[in-house]
Amino acid sequence: MQVAAYVGLKTKGIMGALASYAGFGLPAFLLMLILSYLYAVYHGVQQAASLFNGLAVIVAGIAVNAGYSFGRNTIKTRQGTTIGVLSAALFLIGVSPFIVLLGTAFLGVFIFSADKPALPPMPHQANYAGNIYKYPALFSVLLLAGLGSLYYAAPKLFSLAEVMLKVDTFAFGGGFASVPLMFHEVVSVKRWMDSGTLMSGIAFGQMTPGPVVITATFVGYLVSGMAGAVVATMAVFTPSFLLLLLATPSFDRIKGSALFSNATTGIFSAFSGFLVFVAVKFVVAVNWDILKILFGFIVLGALVKKVDIIYVVLIGAAASIFLF
């Protein structure tokens, strides 16, 4: 989604970025609204219960595969492994993952060696740096005004916005990096839903054409209806958009910085530990039997073999209705 906004920004400036961002996210938002409504109405029906039993197994497989893939691609050293294990242990005992991420970024500056060469400048550098910074400032003022209004007029919506802003601000490393943070806030801290319900929302997110953080729409809808869905969705995409606007003019310089490289290596190592921890939690949340174990291995095997995740979810969901 950030790539779409970046393309819009480079070609048509701020309006292009907004148009690309909205165009990329809107189909997923609308589909997730429909799925959230259907879940709220029908999750107690027998066929729906069978579907969600299967989806729980599918999400457990997705989480295990995500943890393995993310760790394999990001952890290359013993220091990284140590940070991953330590982060998972801190997550287990209840330390806020946001504090852990800040700590591992700081630690990464000192224990990692940035041996990657600086990347060459990107072609087609649009001439927008002169006025680009006024837009993040404007959006930030609007964001603060909106949060202030929600704080006094709708505290539950304010809480939703606060959670999703935190999740997106700290979710470095791709969409699945948001899963442990959302799990921590939605299930462990706010207790808005149990892990099984969140697993259904994550599975629905994999059915949409958008990013996995569209699960925020599901959470918002179950917590506070249509208004919650809108607020949660806008909040979960806002920090990334602002960071994109702020970073783009100077990104060629930032990406070659040893401090930046080392800090992000520390953060990615921590996320590897987080994902493994959440994968374990999702696996434990499933009521396993022989059929579900076999089904889980088939799902995991398909993901390891690089079968497109949308096919795994859709075919697995359809099979679940008959199997469970």
- Note the pLDDT tens digit of each residue in 256-279: 677 888 888 888 888 888 888 888
How far is it, in rounded angstroms, from Cα 280 to Cα 219? 21
Q: Is the pLDDT of residue 119 over 50?
A: no
Contact 287, 194 (CB under 8 A): no
pLDDT at residue number 297: 93
How far is it, in rounded angstroms, from Cα 199 to Cα 187? 11
Segment 5-33 mean pLDDT? 88
Q: Is residue 18 part of a domain?
A: no
Q: Is residue 36 part of a domain?
A: yes
For the chain, percent of residues with pLDDT exceeding 90: 24
Q: Which residue from 219, 139, 137 is spatially nearest to 182, judged by alpha carbons?
A: 219
pLDDT at residue number 162: 94
Instruction: At 318, list the tokens.
Output: 């359809």
- Neighbour count for residue 194 (Cβ, 10 Å): 11
Segment 38-55 mean pLDDT? 79
Q: Is residue 17 part of a domain?
A: no
pLDDT at residue number 300: 92
Q: What are phi and psi of 241, to 5 degrees?
A: -65, -45
pLDDT at residue number 29: 92
| pLDDT top residue among 172 and 291 | 291
pLDDT averaged over the chain? 84
- Neighbour count for residue 50 (Cβ, 10 Å): 17
Segment 7-11 mean pLDDT? 86
Residue 32, C-beta contacts closer than 8 angstroms, at least 6 positions apart: 204, 205, 208, 210, 214, 215, 217, 218, 229
Compute the 3-state secondary structure of the chain and give helix, strand, coil in percent, each to the nearest 5. Answer: 80, 0, 20
pLDDT at residue number 62: 87
Contact 104, 74 (CB under 8 A): no
Q: What are phi and psi of 305, to 5 degrees?
A: -80, 10
Q: Which residue from 63, 69, 79, 81 is spatially nearest to 111, judged by alpha carbons?
A: 79
Least confident range from 68-77, 140-149, 282-291: namely 68-77
Q: Is the pLDDT of residue 122 over 70?
A: no
Residue 65: which domain range? 28-112+133-323
Contact 141, 242 (CB under 8 A): no
Q: Is residue 62 part of a domain?
A: yes
Q: Is residue 79 part of a domain?
A: yes
Q: Is residue 50 part of a domain?
A: yes
Q: Is residue 10 part of a domain?
A: no
Residue with tokens 């925020």: 216
pLDDT at residue number 124: 46
Q: Is residue 222 part of a domain?
A: yes
How far is it, in rounded angstroms, from Cα 225 to Cα 4? 29
- Please state the domain count of the chain: 1
